[in-house]
C-alpha cells in the first residue's frame, strides 16, 4: 500500500529522502549516501551499506568530499568485516579479496587481471604497492571505493 515508505532527512546532508520499512534508502540524490538504520545506530562502523562510516561521511560531506569515497582505514576495516572491496586509482579498478586457492589476500588489477598476494590484511595495509609506490601513500589519489562489483 506504500505505507511502508517514509520521507525522512538524509543522515549526512539532511536532504529529504524516501526510506523503506527497514530504514534503507536508495542513494541520496544530493550526496549519494545510502541511508541505513544500522549505520545510524553504529555511526563509527564502516562498511554497513556505504564503505565510509556515517561519522566520516558527515565529515567528508562538510569538507566537500564524496560521501562514498572511503579513507584508507575505513576501506581496510570494511574488508576486515565484510570482505571483497574495490577502489579506483588512475582510472584502473582494483579489487581486494580473499584468494581461496592461495589462502592469502589478493590485490587484483581488474583490467589487467594481475594479482599480488598478501599474507593478511596487516601485510596488505603496510606493503601493498602500485607501480612501485605504497598504496597507503597513494590513497589520496583514489577516486572511488565500493564493495566489489562484478569483475
- 33, 75, 79, 87: which one contacts Zn ion (CB under 5 A)? 33
Instruction: Give the residue with the Cβ less far from Zn ion, 26 or 119.
Output: 26
Rounded to a whole number of angstroms, the CA Rg of the chain reads 17
84's CB contacts (< 8 A; 6+ apart) are 95, 96, 97, 98, 147, 148
Tell which residue, 116, 71, 68, has the closest CA to residue 96: 116
Fill in the per-residue mask, 12 to 31: x = in contact with Zn ion (CB under 5 A), - = not in contact: xx-x------------x-xx
Instruction: Give the residue with the Cβ less far from Zn ion, 52 or 95.
Output: 52
Q: Nearest approach, Cβ of 55 to Zn ion (angstroms)?
A: 14
Surface-to-core class of residue 105, CB atoms within 10 Å of its CB (0-12 exposed, 13-18 middle, 19+ buried): buried
C-alpha cell at 140: 589520496
Binding segment (CB under 5 A) for Zn ion, from list 9-17, 38-46, 72-80, 141-149? 9-17
Residues that bind Zn ion (CB under 5 A): 10, 12-13, 15, 28, 30-31, 33
Amino acid at each position: 500500500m506504500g505505507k511502508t515508505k517514509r520521507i525522512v532527512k538524509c543522515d549526512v546532508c539532511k536532504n529529504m529522502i524516501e526510506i523503506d520499512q527497514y530504514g534503507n534508502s536508495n542513494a541520496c540524490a544530493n550526496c549519494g549516501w545510502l541511508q541505513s538504520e544500522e549505520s545510524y545506530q553504529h555511526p563509527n562502523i564502516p562498511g554497513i551499506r556505504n564503505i565510509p562510516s556515517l561519522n566520516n561521511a558527515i565529515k567528508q560531506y562538510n569538507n566537500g568530499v564524496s560521501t562514498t569515497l572511503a579513507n584508507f582505514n575505513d576501506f581496510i576495516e570494511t574488508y576486515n568485516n565484510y570482505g571483497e572491496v574495490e577502489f579506483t586509482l588512475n582510472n584502473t579498478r582494483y579489487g581486494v579479496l580473499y584468494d581461496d586457492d592461495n589462502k592469502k589476500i589478493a590485490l587484483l588489477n581488474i583490467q589487467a587481471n594481475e594479482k599480488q598476494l598478501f599474507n593478511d590484511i596487516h601485510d596488505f595495509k603496510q606493503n601493498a604497492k602500485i607501480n612501485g609506490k605504497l598504496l597507503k601513500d597513494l590513497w589520496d589519489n583514489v577516486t572511488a571505493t565500493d564493495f566489489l562489483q562484478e569483475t
